[in-house]
């Protein structure tokens, strides 16, 4: 049974003592390391969840002209098609500017040539002009509503524009447009793994987790050997408060692709939140081997060792995280929490108190928006050190 006192979790007497000592209790609450899973009513999550890496992946856009879409459904129109054929050959020779000129002549000859608009969109996307690519794909979809490829690529471009949007409202608008495009693509080709997976990713970003799960799960059914789809399903299940389903999905992802340190962090995070500390520590140790220069697994191990009552190992883990990433506010914050926790338990250790205050100052300098940490720093900074 996980989460028992014998495994290093807090015993009842520990909790009572913590609550009786307001200084220690505030430090433990700050860390969120004694609270277990997130509070589902407030949405406030413990630090071990906040520092984890949450990965929602989107499938890459289709290539310039290689696609299993419905291009052949468009009737050939001699004049326009001649320009289109020349454009294809120029694309294959990487003469993209000349290809674009041929495509422009193709749509002049036939304003309803969906294939020409689609390739124009591909070329604009290739040069990074996403607004122009979007307009071209929209024209292709209007010219041939039964063509899968422009609908799908329109969705991906709208996702890209959402990433670049400066305002949240603008990002939401683009994501809604991506959703509409993917739904059209799925109507044309229901078994498209890419369209289902990307639609799930859009709904996830919009906070519509039920629909995100619906299409992501469909993606795993279409292609059960794709590790990214299982990872996405794990993230969605975790955020909906179903940790055991999240664990199963993350495990499926890792079995399909072993070398995924970020997904190991996701799995370890769920283990931590459900009190399975030893399993979490094993996962984080594996992540340190897969990504030796990454600070994240060391930072998470620092949290785990703290919850196991192994404070020296916790401090060393945070030190390793800081060594790998000297600009990690979470690592400094965690290091300070462990030092101050011990300093309160052992008032004679004034050195630990000073180390904690110094680490917290660095954390706040790197990331000022930490009001809970700022309040705690102010409180302990004003208190005279025990004599």
Of the residues 168, 188, 208, the one at which a domain ends: 188
Q: Are 223 and 231 in contact (CB under 8 A)?
A: no
pLDDT of amino acid 240: 92
Computed over every residue of the chain, the mean pLDDT equals 80
pLDDT at 35 exceeding the cut of 50: no
CA atoms within 13 Å, Cβ hemisphere of 161: 23
pLDDT digits (tens, 9 = 90+) for 169-192: 899 999 999 999 999 999 999 999
| Containing structural domain, residue 3 | 1-36+293-387
Q: Where residue 36 falls among pLDDT bands split at 50, 70, 90?
A: very low
What integer pLDDT is reported at residue 88 of this predicted model?
Answer: 75
Give a yes or no: residue 272 inside a domain.
no
Question: Is residue 372 located within the same domain as residue 299?
Answer: yes
Q: What is the pLDDT of residues 208-221, one digit of tens each?
A: 999 999 999 999 99
* Domain count along the chain: 2
What pTM was computed for the model? 0.77
Joined tokens for residue 12: 């009842």
Predicted pLDDT of residue 384: 63
Give the per-residue pLDDT at 269. 92
192 close to 185: Cβ distance less than 8 angstroms: yes
User: Does residue 286 form part of some domain?
Assistant: no
The confidence score (pLDDT) of residue 213 equals: 96
- 29 and 75 both lie in a single domain: no
User: Is 27 a domain residue?
Assistant: yes
d(C-alpha 77, C-alpha 380), whole Å: 78
Average pLDDT over residues 158-172: 90
Query: Of 188, 208, 231, which residue is a domain's last?
Result: 188
pLDDT at residue 361, rounded to an integer: 96
29, 101: one domain: no
Question: Do 110 and 160 belong together in one domain?
Answer: yes
Residue 138 lies in a domain: yes
Q: What is the CATH number of the domain that holds 95?
A: 1.25.40.10
d(CA 175, CA 181): 10
Identify whether residues 1 and 74 lie together within a single domain. Answer: no
Q: Do 75 and 179 fall into the same domain?
A: yes
Same domain, residue pair 31 and 104: no
């Amino acid at each position: 049974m996980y989460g028992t006192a014998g495994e290093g979790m807090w015993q009842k007497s520990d909790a009572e003592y913590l609550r009786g000592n307001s200084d220690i209790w505030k430090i433990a609450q700050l860390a969120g390391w004694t609270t277990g899973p997130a509070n589902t009513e407030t949405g406030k999550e413990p630090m071990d969840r906040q520092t984890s890496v949450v990965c929602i992946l989107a499938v890459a856009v289709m290539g310039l002209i290689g696609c299993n879409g419905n291009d052949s459904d468009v009737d050939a129109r001699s004049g326009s098609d001649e320009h289109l054929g020349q454009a294809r050959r120029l694309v294959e020779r990487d003469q993209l500017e000349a290809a674009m000129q041929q495509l422009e002549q193709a749509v002049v000859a036939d304003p309803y040539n969906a294939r020409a608009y689609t390739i124009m969109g591909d070329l604009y996307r290739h040069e990074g002009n996403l607004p122009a690519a979007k307009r071209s794909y929209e024209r292709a979809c209007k010219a041939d509503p039964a063509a899968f490829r422009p609908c799908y690529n329109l969705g991906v471009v709208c996702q890209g524009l959402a990433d670049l949007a400066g305002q949240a409202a603008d990002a939401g608008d683009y994501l809604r447009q991506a959703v509409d495009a993917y739904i059209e693509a799925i109507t044309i080709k229901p078994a498209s793994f890419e369209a289902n997976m990307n639609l799930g990713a859009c709904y996830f970003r919009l906070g519509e987790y039920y629909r995100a799960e619906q299409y992501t799960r469909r993606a795993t059914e279409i292609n059960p050997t794709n590790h990214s789809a299982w990872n996405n399903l794990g993230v969605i299940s975790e955020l909906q408060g179903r940790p055991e389903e999240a664990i199963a999905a993350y495990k499926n992802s890792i079995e399909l692709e072993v070398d995924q340190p970020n997904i190991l962090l996701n799995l370890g995070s769920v283990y931590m939140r459900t009190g399975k500390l030893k399993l979490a520590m094993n996962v984080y140790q594996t992540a340190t081997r897969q990504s030796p220069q990454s600070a994240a697994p060391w930072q998470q191990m620092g949290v785990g060792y703290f919850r196991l009552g192994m404070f020296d190992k916790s401090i060393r883990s945070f030190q390793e995280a800081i060594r790998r990433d000297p600009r990690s506010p979470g690592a400094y914050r965690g290091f300070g929490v462990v030092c101050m926790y011990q300093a309160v338990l052992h008032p004679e250790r004034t050195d630990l108190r000073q180390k904690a205050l110094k680490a917290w100052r660095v954390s706040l300098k790197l990331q000022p928006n930490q009001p809970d940490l700022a309040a705690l720093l102010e409180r302990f900074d004003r208190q005279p050190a025990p004599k």
